[in-house]
Amino acid sequence: MNTLLTDLEEGILTITLNRPERRNALTPEMQEELIAAFEAAKTGAVKVVILTGAGAAFCSGLDLAVLESMFEQTVEEQKADAQRTAQLFRTLYALPIPAIAAVNGHAIAGGTGLATLCDFTFAVPGAKFGYTEVKIGFIPALVSVFLGLQLGDKQARNLLLTGQLFDAQQAHELGLVNEIVASEMLLERVHLFAQELLQNSPSAMRKTKELLIAQTASELDARIERAVAASLHTRQHPDFQEGVTAFLSKRKPRWQD
């Protein structure tokens, strides 16, 4: 793979986002490779998945170059892009084996989504999180589908409408982070936790996850369909282009009245 590193040892598959020079920002290629890696993890050889990032960041969200390219995409291309993001989050959320995020640094926008959609999230004290899409005229359409299930409506509204950044301690208090771990101990602690999970019945854990996923499957699919449509609509709005342009120009956006 070009954007990921993978390592399978004693039933534990470690997937490392490997674009440190871009703070592991998401591209279509990385999304497709993540989907493929999660699909491959469903085989019997893998009992636990660990997701982490190379370098100083976990994942800074969608690559700005990808955001810019959306202005030139056809509607069909934009739709395919939104559907790919939906597939990525849906595949991770529905993974039938335990998934652990080792958040080694900032996890922003879609990066927050990846970090918190795992069954367990461990983060370093300096990690920052945030659903910052509204600040650039975009909407957190797909992460909103899952955040409402995780936190409830009131907390989800607060995070999604403000676009505020919040630290690991706040994420822990919200229940999005299970444990805060010193940077130098993060991977050791996560692997120790993975070893604890390996002591459980693999079949029982798989069936438990399948049961939990089935309880919201039909509602989830309907929400994802609406989120894809909303994302597609937002990409056509002038505020989106203005927000990205302003961000790249390091100026305040001038929103449409």
Residues labelled as active-site residues? 133
Report the alpha-carbon distance of residue 115 to residue 176 in Å, rounded: 9
| Residue pair 4/17 in contact by the 8 Å Cβ criterion | yes
Strands 4-9 and 12-17: antiparallel
Report the distance separating Cα 193 and Cα 118, nearest Å: 14
Q: Distance between CA atoms of 130 and 203, rounded to whole angstroms?
A: 35
Contact by Cβ (8 Å): 23, 33: no
Q: Where are the alpha helices (DSSP H) in the chain?
A: 28-40, 64-69, 75-93, 110-117, 141-151, 153-162, 168-174, 186-197, 202-214, 217-235, 238-249
